[in-house]
Amino acid sequence: MDNVQPASIAAAPPSSLKSVQERFADTIAGYLFLLPFVVVYFLFRIYPLFRGLYISLHEWELVGTHREYVGLENYRSLLWNNLQWDIPYQLILRVAGLALTAVVLWWLVRRDRIGRIAAVVLFVSAVAIFAGILGLHPQDGAARWGDELFREAAKNTLYFVVLSTPSIVIVGLLLAVALNRPWPIMGLFRTIFFSSYIFSVSVVTLIWVMVLSPRQGILAHFLEIFGAEPIAWLTDKDLAMPAIVITTLWWTVGFNMILFLAGLQDIPSEVYEAAKLDGAGPLVNFFRVTLPLLKRTTVAVVVLQVMFSFQIFGQVYLMTRGGPAGSTRVLVLEIYQTGFRDWMLGYASAMSMILFLFMLGTSIVQIWLTQEEEA
C-alpha cells in the first residue's frame, strides 16, 4: 500500500491476453462507471469556472436585467487602472535586477544546484517581473491606481495565510508527535483535540466571540484573576486578525493532527529502535528521523492548509464583518459583498478569477518546489 502512487492509476493491468472486443467492452464499462460523477463534476465545477470567466467580462447585476459586455474592463479596474508602462521607468534598477538574477541563476546552474528547466522558467519569470510588471507605474498626477480595496483585501488574506499556515501546521505536527503513543489515554486526548473540528463554523464563532469578549468572556474572567486588563480582541485592529487565527487554529488543527498521525503510524518502529541504538535523544529523533520521513505528509498538509486559508470567509463574516476599520476584510468577503451587497456580479467574478489564479499559482509553485528538492 505504501507504494500506491497516483501515477500508477494509468498503468494498465496485464491485458495482453484480451481481445479487441474485450478491450472495447472495457472502455464502454469504464466510461459508464465514470459517467454519473463526470456529469455532476462537469456541471457544477468545470462549467461554472468558465461561466464565471464569462460573467467577469460583463457588467452583470445580481438583480434586474442589466448585463453588458465590457471585455476586460473589470480586470482593468481591478488591476491596472491608472497605470502606465514605460521602458525608461526605473530603467537602471530594472536592468540591474534582471542582470543580477541572471548571474545568480547561471551560478546556480553551474554548481548544479538547480536544473536547467527550472532555471529557464525562473529566468522567464524574472524577465516578466523586471521588464514587464516593474515597468508599470501610476500615471502622472494619478494618486490612485487599480482597486485599493481589492489590494487591501488581498493583503489581509495573505496576512491571514502567513499567520495561520505555519501555526496550524506546526501545532498539528506537535500534537501528532506527542499523541503518537499506544497508550489508552492518548485516544482520549486525540478525541478532545479532534472534536473541535466537527463543530460548524457558526458554532465555533459563537463560542469564540464569547470567549474573547472583553466584558463577558472567559478569557477576560481569567485575566482578571491576575489583575490584568481585559483585551478587546475583535475590536482592536491589530488583534482582530490574530484572534481569528487563534479561532481557526482551535477549530481546524485537529484535521492536520489526524493527517500527521496517519503519516507517523506509517513510520516503522524499527527506524526509531535503530536511532535509539545510536543513542539518539527525543529531539534528535524528531529532527533526524521523524521530520524527514514525514516529508510527504507535511507537503500535503501545507498545500491543503494554504488552500483552506486562502478561502477564509465564515470566521471573518461572523466575527468581525471585516472590521475594525477593514483590518480583517479578506478576499472572499470582498467578493461576497461586491456581488451580494453592491450587486456587481461581473466585478465580483473578476475578483474570483484572480483569487483562483492566485491559488492555482501558489499550489503549483509549492508542489514544484518540493518536487525539485526531491529530484
How many residues in the shown chain lie near another protein by CB under 8 A? 140
Minimum separation from the CB atom of position 365 to another protein (A): 13
Cβ proximity to another protein: between 68 and 113 the closer is 68
Site pattern 151..190 for another protein (x: CB under 8 A): ---------------------------xxxxxx-x---xx
Minimum separation from the CB atom of position 207 to another protein (A): 5
Site pattern 215..254 for another protein (x: CB under 8 A): xxxx--x----------x--xxx------------x----
Cβ proximity to another protein: between 81 and 90 the closer is 81
Cell of 125: 519569470
Residue 355, interface with another protein (CB under 8 A)?
A: yes
Residue among 185, 173, 189, 187 nearest 263 (CA):
173
> Rounded to an integer, what distance in angstroms lies between the CA atom of residue 247 and that of residue 205?
7
Cβ proximity to another protein: between 27 and 125 the closer is 27
Among 290, 305, 309, 349, binds another protein (CB under 8 A): 349
DSSP 162-228: HHHHHHHHHHHHHHHHHH-S--HHHHHHHHHHHHGGGS-HHHHHHHHHHHH-TTT-HHHHHHHHTTP
Minimum separation from the CB atom of position 20 to another protein (A): 12
Pairing of strands 136-138, 83-85: antiparallel
Residue among 24, 142, 1, 28 nearest 80 (CA):
142
Site pattern 277..306 for another protein (x: CB under 8 A): -----x-------------xx-xx------
Cell of 60: 452583470
DSSP 3-47: T--GGGGGSPPS-TT--HHHHHHHHHHHHHHHHHHHHHHIIIIIH
Q: Is 333 helix (H, G, I), strand (E, B) or coil?
A: helix
Among 126, 173, 209, 245, binds another protein (CB under 8 A): 209
Among 75, 130, 160, 193, binds another protein (CB under 8 A): 193
- Measured over all CA atoms, what is the biggest interatomic distance in the chain, rounded to whole angstroms? 83
Cβ proximity to another protein: between 130 and 160 the closer is 160
Site pattern 65..104 for another protein (x: CB under 8 A): -x----------x---x-----------------------
> Rounded to an integer, what distance in angstroms lies between the CA atom of residue 205 and that of residue 163?
18
Among 62, 79, 122, 223, binds another protein (CB under 8 A): 62
C-beta neighbour count of 334 within 10 angstroms: 23
**Helices 47-55, 345-374: inter-axial angle, 10-degree rounding:** 130
Residue 114, interface with another protein (CB under 8 A)?
A: no
Site pattern 306..345 for another protein (x: CB under 8 A): -x--xx-xx--xx-xxxxxxxx----x--xxx-xxxxxxx
Minimum separation from the CB atom of position 133 to another protein (A): 21
